[in-house]
A and B are shown apart, each in its own frame.
Chain A
Amino acid sequence: DQQVKQNSPSLSVQEGRISILNCDYTNSMFDYFLWYKKYPAEGPTFLISISSIKDKNEDGRFTVFLNKSAKHLSLHIVPSQPGDSAVYFCAPHSGNTPLVFGKGTRLSVIA
């Protein structure tokens, strides 16, 4: 029973365009949502987070949108750069419970 679903295993985007990565969740108790980025042979690195009391959080080229009623969040990267090519994980949690990770979306940014 997957609490966190990232339904697109992969995404290919042209350099300079917008990348949109999606995440759906089922647990309405989740109140903090994080995005991680992972390069091969490295551990995941924290990218951006959003609290359930907000619907948008922006940090440079990265923006996360949260739609609580739809239990959906998305990560927008604009403009996309070749160095953004990595696997992106959505990871929410509630209270002091551990992060629950989706299976990830592999983003390829083509120059």
Chain B
Amino acid sequence: GAGVSQSPSNKVTEKGKDVELRCDPISGHTALYWYRQSLGQGLEFLIYFQGNSAPDKSGLPSDRFSAERTGGSVSTLTIQRTQQEDSAVYLCASSPWDRRDYGYTFGSGTRLTVV
């Protein structure tokens, strides 16, 4: 596709339930990133994937969060046993790895509300 696609755009879930958020990156972009933005905060890095390398999971806030990237393309971010503090906009981005001046292309995000 022409851009980074995320689904769903909005998700309301009950506390304690698991959720899956999906990201379709731009075709050919080898790097894929997940960030989240809580109310009034900047973008917080969660995890990134580059090609076949092991992902950098250093930003995941707890072991309830996990992500995978299948076939070097689509990625799924899973949050288990959701808590109210998980409410945020989850943003996915992709980039061509060798263009450091290019920046990332972001999707429109998934707004997650835990009630």
Contact = CB atoms under 8 A, between A and B. Distances in A.
B91 A43 contact: yes
A12 B35 CA distance: 28
A43 B103 contact: no
B20 to A, nearest CB: 19
Given A89-B43, A101-B42, A46 B103 contact: yes
Interface residues of B, number: 26
B65 interface: no
Interface in A47-72: 49, 51
A1 interface: no
Given A42-B108, A43-B93, A44-B43, A101 B35 contact: yes
Given A89-B42, A101-B42, A43 B101 contact: no
A34 B48 contact: no
Interface string B76-105: 000000000000000101000100111111
Contacts of B91: 43-44
Contacts of A111: none
Given A43-B93, A43-B109, A98-B56, A103 B41 contact: yes
B25 interface: no
A43 B108 contact: yes
A42 B37 CA distance: 12
Interface string B30-47: 000101000011111100
21 contacts: A32-B100, A32-B101, A36-B103, A41-B108, A42-B108, A43-B4, A43-B91, A43-B107, A45-B106, A46-B102, A51-B101, A89-B42, A91-B43, A98-B45, A99-B33, A99-B104, A101-B43, A101-B45, A103-B40, A103-B42, A104-B42
Given A101-B43, A101-B45, A103-B42, 16 more contacts: A32-B100, A42-B108, A43-B93, A46-B102, A46-B103, A93-B100, A96-B97, A98-B48, A98-B56, A99-B33, A99-B43, A99-B45, A100-B45, A101-B42, A101-B44, A103-B41
